[in-house]
Structure 1
Amino acid sequence: MAAAEVLNTSAIPNLGADVSGYLPKLRSNHGHYVASSSTGWMRPTPSDTPIDEMRKRFRDEGYVWIKHVIPREVVYDMREHYFSQFAHTGMLAPHTSPRDGIFNPSSDPTSHQGIGGVPVDSTNALLDAVHADPTYRSFLAHPSLRAFIRQFTGWEQERIVDRAMLRHNCPGSQSTGIHYDQYFLRDGDDEFLTAWVPIGDCAATGGGLMYLENSTSLGRDLESAFLKKAEHLPKQERIDAFNQYMAKDGFMSHDAVEFQAIHRENVGRWLVGDYEAGDVVFHNPWMVHAATKNEDALGRIRLASDLRFYEEGAKLDPRWMKIWTHDDGL
């Protein structure tokens, strides 16, 4: 590629979720590729779908994937702003734009871990800074997103936890393990809404979220069993996702095939989507999910933000009312 050329992947359309007969080959951090018979497509919901139908899908399926909630250019402006701050680290491919966020194939992905991996010391301060950055905090308050949340929930006013997270996953690096959100926010009400915002187009095999079909009841059952087992623990240990009864990194597993097999009598397939910039996926606190291993064909770095919303007046987990830092212990 000539020095003057810039690869503009934001102009490349995604396959989209409604692709007859096509199922991606995907996997989690560990284990084998998930068999095609054990995967399926999530159902996208156009933003002009009647609100009652959106709410029904959310109740029935544990998630609702809303198309085009935030303007596409706004999302790509955020992507460009984020990766511009990492340009000096060698993470981006030479002669490519931060707006595209293409990984440098000659770089070691383990040296560019974000949240969910083990960030190297040289990027800790940078990761802390981008989470407090006014541009990011303004992005979280985008009026299109906030207006939709109020309409969808019927809340008069929403409250976002300050500990919103920006996660970048380079191709080949560690992705998010299997979990449900409530056990990370145990010191608050369990009636909150998670919004997962892909910041840029993200193919199913590019590190996007995958949801375990029909897993809301499983999440509730797992949490009930944990609470019973942990009754004797002091409160600070009961609410800790890293206590003696949990995995050391807070996740239930990093092997999608194994986890699905263990719980096969109670759950369905792993569901995935080809997400577009501007889409938002909302899910309940109990829905079991993880991220796919980033094996994006175009070498795109997956960037996304995890947001949690409560109704104003609800009991919030006070540990989550501080902006994320790499050493906050959560």
Structure 2
Amino acid sequence: MPHATYDPPAPWTGQQLYVNDGPLQPDQVGALRETTLDAPIEEIRRRYNEDGYVFLKQLLPRQDVLKAREQYFSLLQPSGCLKPGTRPVQGIFDSSKDHRDYPGIGAGGQDENGRPIGPNPEIASKFVDLALQAHNEDWYKETFCKHPALLKFVQDFTSWQDNTMAIKRTLLRNNTPGNKAIGVHYDQIFLRHGADTAVTAWVPLGDVKVTGGGLIYLEKGHTIGAEMEKDFTIKAKQTGFSDEEARNAFNANMMHGGMLHNGPAEFSRDFQRRWLVAANGYEAGDVVLHNAFAIHASTMNYDTEGVIRVGTDLRFVDSSKEWDKRWDKTYSFNDGV
């Protein structure tokens, strides 16, 4: 894979963060640039193009996000994941339980059918089934995923207007304290049957402390992602592959589940780029938009109060252009994407 030279800026002075392959060192961490809604749309577009992401503060009404969080954990409560005496909207894990029995979607530890697994199959299965069911609940797929404030912003931001389509397949993920985090990847890996113009909205369902397992973005990582894709494409054409053969060849170079690397710390060292985090954590109502090549991952959830991190990936495409029709369905395990 191509390597780019980069001089890391000043070191991180915030809290210690951990990823799948251990602690991030101070010179491997920086702060995401925050953008408020009073910024001119031209400036927001400039930041998105320059950074590969734009971190929007309070795009969604806080009460709407917390309502969705409450409905999510009310659904999952029968699995035994929540601490007795707490309210579903708090989403506080019952620390008397084995966190491995409450695995997150897409964070490894899957069976041959793509289902997350735990040491006690009966417990893990109930939790995982309910987490999957949430994708089909009307409060999620019809109300939250189609929130008018988000759709209107994306329409204006992209200038796609009526051609703006929120595609059906979304990823609603939880991260119980202590479990494995999401590995290093960029979204075009999963959207290769369409144009590279898709916009992802990562939306935390609730507040996420800086140590609570939120998404992290490789600084200027979208340039590396685009370079990787270009390098793969050149090699595929030189080999004489068809488009379908090229896609399969791309995916063969990825780790299981489409990851570039399981260890963000090592990835940071290899490319001499910092991981950018929300320095003050994420708040309910915040949204991060990122492009198809923005390289991202997540930290381990070490929330001091045992709060389960929940977030969703909502993706938008320009329906007038080619887009990956495999995403025209609700998420299910091992669905071929």
How does the TM-score come out when normalised to structure 2? 0.86
What CA deviation, in whole Å up to 9, does each residue of 1:217-264 have, x standing for no partner? 110111122234445566555435984322122111121221111112
Alignment correspondent of 2:129: 125
CA-atom RMSD in angstroms: 1.8
Alignment correspondent of 1:244: 252
Gaps (5+ residues) in structure 2?
1-11, 111-115, 118-124
Cα 1:203–1:124 shift into 2, 3 Å: closer
Amino acid at match of 2:213: G
Q: What's the CA shift for 1:125?
A: 3.3
Pick from 327, 331, 337: which aligns with 1:320?
Answer: 327
Amino acid at match of 1:155: W
Q: Count the aligned residue pairs.
A: 306
Q: What's the CA shift for 1:183?
A: 0.9
Query: Contact 1:206–1:302 at 8 Å: present in 2 too?
Result: yes
Pick from 288, 293, 308: which aligns with 1:286?
Answer: 293
Alignment correspondent of 1:18: none
Cα 1:130–1:237 shift into 2, 3 Å: farther
What fraction of aligned residue pairs are identical, expressed as a percent? Answer: 40
SS at match of 1:145: helix
Query: Contact 2:103–2:128 at 8 Å: present in 1 too?
Result: no
Alignment correspondent of 1:182: 188
User: What is the distance in 2 between the residues matched to 1:112 and 1:329?
Assistant: 24
Alignment correspondent of 2:154: 149
Give 1 or 2: higher helix fraction. 2
User: What is the distance in 1 between the residues matched to 2:188 and 2:254?
Assistant: 13
What CA deviation, in whole Å up to 9, does each residue of 1:289-312 have, x standing for no partner? 101111111211110010111123
SS at match of 1:290: strand
Alignment correspondent of 1:192: 198
User: What is the distance in 2 between the residues matched to 1:304 and 1:132?
Assistant: 16
Q: What's the CA shift for 1:156?
A: 1.6
User: What is the distance in 1 between the residues matched to 2:157 and 2:49?
Assistant: 12
Q: What's the CA shift for 1:107?
A: 1.3
1:170 aligns with 2:176: yes
1:24 aligns with 2:28: no
Pick from 301, 307, 310: which aligns with 2:314?
Answer: 307
Q: What's the CA shift for 1:114?
A: 2.3
User: What is the distance in 2 between the residues matched to 1:41 and 1:329?
Assistant: 35
Q: What's the CA shift for 1:88?
A: 1.2
Structure 1 segments (4+ residues) deviating >6 Å: none
What CA deviation, in whole Å up to 9, does each residue of 1:159-201 have, x standing for no partner? 0121111000000112211011111100001011111000000
Amino acid at match of 1:320: W
User: What is the distance in 2 between the residues matched to 1:262 and 1:56?
Assistant: 28
